Structure 1
Amino acid sequence: MARWEEVEADAPEFAAAVRRLFDAFKHKTLATLRRDGSPRISGTEAQFRDGDIWLGSMWMARKAVDLRRDPRFALHSASEDPSDDNPSSWPGDAKLSGRVEEVTDPEQLAKAMGGEAPSEQSHLFRLDIEEVVWTRVGTPADHLVIELWRAGEGLRRFQR
């Protein structure tokens, strides 16, 4: 597992492109696992701060309960529609997966929240990253370009 700053240090151009995709829209899609092992999809927001990626949640929301029971997750950036005239101009989409660590210590919560503890009871999770993927249309637009970063393995590129 890795912190986001490790992805940035290992593959800076890739990390910058992935971060642009995650920052382009406020809402992302989070996949968690229910008690019976089936997937749950939830809307969420994510923030890049201090070398990490953070997810917040309302107190005891289903996604938070899922993550507290089983910390595995997948997070998908929002995606804009490709242009019919120029599909290669589509910036692509990004995904990352790994495990979360819930922050519960009041001092750590205040630090993670920029110096202020949350005013209401809530959850805060730091993402430990196992895998990051950036998928986009190649040039010419007859194939996909898939870049995959894995903790301990670095960056690889595929075409399909």
Structure 2
Amino acid sequence: MTTWKELTELAPTIAAVFARRHAATGKLCMLATIRADGFPRISPMEPVIFEDQLWIMGMPDTAKFRDLARDPRFCLHTATVDTYLADGDAKLWGVVADVRDEDVHRRFAEALFAESGMDLRDKLPFDHLYAADLTGASSIALLGGDRLEITIWKPGEPERVVQKH
């Protein structure tokens, strides 16, 4: 499993772009899952980095979480607010594992409350708390107005950069 902490060590450029865009949009990202009919679904979501791990959680009994329960593959894309990508853009993909450990749920709820004021401590245990196992990532930066720098990472490989003009 590649955790968020490991991604920051293995793919620091991509992790930095993701963290910057995640913070700039109030943590808003777009989550891609696979619907029961095989078509993709895109849903807004606010992933959380907690205990060096990327977590995907949210309102129970939603289509996106039914998708993940059936097929754990996902793609997470930072919310793009600038079509010129002046501040970059990042995508992470992988699979989730539904963590059922109630102590983890409790620590997560306490940390979320301390950080954001969102109080889910009376909702324990959660229906789902998904830990993300990252299996790939990429980021894009605009250089000089007409050049894109695409940074790509896969497990077992260093980041590599592709430039497009």
TM over 0.5: yes
TM-score, with length taken from structure 1:
0.86
Match of 1:133, SS? Answer: strand
Percentage identity across aligned positions? Answer: 35
- Trace 1:94-113 onto structure 2 (pairs within 5 A): 94-113=90-109
* Distance in 1, Cα, partners of 2:55 & 2:13: 21
Task: Give the one of 77, 86, 93 matched to 1:90.
Answer: 86
Matched, 1:155 2:151: no
TM-score, with length taken from structure 2:
0.84
2:102 maps to a residue whose letter is: P
Change in Cα spacing, 1:114 to 1:150, as seen in structure 2 (3 Å) is farther
Task: Report the CA distance between 1:13 and its aligned residue.
Answer: 4.4
Matched residue, 2:148: 144
Matched residue, 1:127: 132
Listed as ranges, the gaps of 5+ residues in structure 2 are: 114-119
Cα RMSD (Å): 2.0
> 8 Å contact 2:14–2:138 — kept in the other structure?
no
* Distance in 1, Cα, partners of 2:104 & 2:67: 22
Matched residue, 2:65: 64
* Distance in 1, Cα, partners of 2:59 & 2:14: 32
2:10 maps to a residue whose letter is: D
Which of structure 1's runs of 4+ aligned residues deviate more than 6 A?
Answer: none
> 8 Å contact 1:56–1:122 — kept in the other structure?
no
Matched residue, 1:11: 11
* Distance in 1, Cα, partners of 2:62 & 2:14: 33
Change in Cα spacing, 1:62 to 1:102, as seen in structure 2 (3 Å) is same
* Distance in 1, Cα, partners of 2:56 & 2:138: 19
| Higher alpha-carbon deviation: 105-114 or 144-153 | 105-114
Higher helix share: 2
Task: Report the CA distance between 1:153 and its aligned residue.
Answer: 1.2
> 8 Å contact 1:57–1:122 — kept in the other structure?
no
1:50 maps to a residue whose letter is: E
